[in-house]
Structure 1
């Protein structure tokens, strides 16, 4: 079993440890390369920089995406490890040595992050090289990897596991993580930020109805609202242009079980308008996820038609 040990900014770690979020964005200042060392569901550990040089926590890898900073902030807010967007920009700009106000950055999204108490920090493996800048892949198939894996699992299996803030951290044992890849994403408890990014990527960064590619106006819509105790799963989402998202949420638009667009007559009745929207009526979705498991689920569609849509 492979897992990743990522070189972690100490300030980023301390900021998030105080807040105990349900997800984090482990970002890189450059958006030039993808990250493929591990797959969804794999362990992703935080190795602090000098003077600490210890493994101090981690999370479970969901996805890596290259995103404009503005979208990363909208999706994750303080879960980026900064109190506001300008602070995040300053952190990134200091590492990039440029003045781009909205750079593309690498975003490794982690679910169920955990933060060890300082007395539980784990020394870096003896084969950790001083020249490592970003991180290193380990495997339970070798002695160094297995030793580190067991040390992490021993700490996670403590109940309750508390860090210095007194807040309870994630309790996840090895046997609780049997799914990997797409299957893992259907089981893990995703946060709102991960949901937005996964839906955005699943729909190829295009509006499902119109095919629009302008990223700042595209939003991840829940088919069955999260407030209705519905999970943040890709098959409960649609990527929609912002005006269509509003209409969808307010019941002026829906999709059928055959994945065609249906527009309510109430737009014309209430606003004496809607010509552009009625042109979409009856047409199939233009953009769909390539994986069937990520396409809109019938039970969520039925719920929206019965509880939200206003014919």
Structure 2
């Protein structure tokens, strides 16, 4: 397993550490050209505070990296960005870019999305590895199977075992990492995605286009749950479809569904019966759903069946 020790600031860390039930964070980078290729999904990113606080103070499991407009990053993650408001986020980005940012500017930032994060109390902080240079700006990678990386992993594993019971359930990346003892690849059990991460991954999987209409205006696109979260009790990309907001509302209310057999759009006669309207929506009836290129992100048939037979009418 690989480990990446990423540099962050006290404010970002302390806001997260002060919150309860944090299931995801956006470890963002201010540059519009930022990239991140140091980890595979399920591998570990640790948080190191800026000097002179040279300590590792927590971490999380990598899920995905994407370049996102600031507004979308805020809408998806809110305080999980490590700030309390969108204006504060703009100010923080402007500070790191050393250039002013207007209140309506919406440039891209690099978003490193992490699941199952953990934030240690001060008595559990780990001193930075001896080979971690103080002038390191972004971070440094290690192999957990040997050398300094191995020593670091042993310390991290001890602390992971002290996590609250909710984070030590079966089929979590935290438990999988503990059981691996830092050896091998962690892809067998991927991190449990939070709501913001699922929204972003679904948006990216459908190439930022409504799967029913082809609409590409990002502010009006929603990641719709197929089977309600109250039923499924977890966030999964295969339970999401990117929809224009009005289509999403009709889908949730059972006026529109997707045929589980052929993945074609079905529009209920109720729209005409109840509202004497709906011509625009009936044009969609019988059209094929636009699916992600990656088949792993296709809607699961049991989720489609649930919506078609329990919600659509």
TM-score, normalising length: structure 2: 0.91
Q: Give 2:285's aligned residue.
A: 281
User: Is the Cα–Cα contact under 8 Å of residues 10 and 49 in structure 1 kept in the other structure?
Assistant: yes
Partner of 1:54: 55
Question: 1:216 is paired with a residue of what secondary structure?
Answer: helix
Deviation at 1:175, TM superposition (A): 3.9
> Corresponding residue for 1:18?
18
Alpha-carbon distance in 2 for matches of 1:153, 1:175: 6
Instruction: Give the deviation of 1:155 after TM superposition.
Output: 1.2
Aligned ranges 1:253-292 → 2 under 5 Å: 253-257=256-260, 258-286=262-290, 288-292=291-295
Give the unaligned 5+ runs of structure 2.
169-173
What secondary structure does 2:292 align onto?
A: coil
What does residue 163 of structure 1 align with?
A: none
> Any conservation in 1 of the 2:90–2:101 contact (CA below 8 Å)?
no
Q: Equivalents in 2 of 1:215, 1:176: separation in Å? A: 41
Q: Distance between the aligned counterparts of 2:163 and 2:59, measured in 1?
A: 17
Q: Which residue of 1 aligns with 2:141?
A: 137
Q: Structure 1 stretches of 5 or more lacking a match?
A: 161-167
Tell me: CA distance 1:109–1:305, structure 2 relative to 1, closer, same or farther (3 Å).
Answer: same
Question: d(CA) in 1 for partners of 2:248 and 2:7?
Answer: 38
Q: How does 1:109-124 map to 2 (within 5 A)?
A: 109-124=113-128
| Secondary structure of the corresponding residue to residue 210 of structure 1 | coil
Cα distance between partner residues in 1 of 2:222 and 2:163: 39
- CA shift, 1:179, in A, is 6.8
In the alignment, the residues of structure 1 paired with residue 163 and residue 194 of structure 2 have an alpha-carbon distance, to the nearest angstrom, of 23
Residue deviations 1:114-148 (CA, integer Å, cap 9, x gap): 01111111111111122310111111243011100
Provide the alpha-carbon RMSD of the alignment.
1.8
Once residues 141 and 157 of structure 1 are traced to their aligned partners in structure 2, the CA distance between those partners, rounded to angstroms, is 19
Q: Which runs of 4+ in 1 moved over 3 A?
A: 168-171, 175-181
With over 3 angstroms needed to count, the CA separation of the structure-2 counterparts of 1:57 and 1:242, relative to structure 1, is: same
Please give the residue correspondences for 1:102-251 in structure 2 after superposition, counting only pairs within 5 Å: 102-158=106-162, 170-171=167-168, 172-173=174-175, 174-176=177-179, 180=186, 184-185=189-190, 188-251=191-254
Structure 1 distance, partners of 2:240, 2:202, is 6
TM-score by length of 1: 0.91
Which residue does the alignment assign to 2:32?
31
The aligned counterpart of 2:311 is 308
The residue number in structure 2 matching 1:165 is none
Residue 77 (str. 1) matches residue 78 (str. 2): yes
Work out the CA distance in 1 between the residues paired with 2:179 and 2:293.
28
Tell me what 1:164 maps to. none
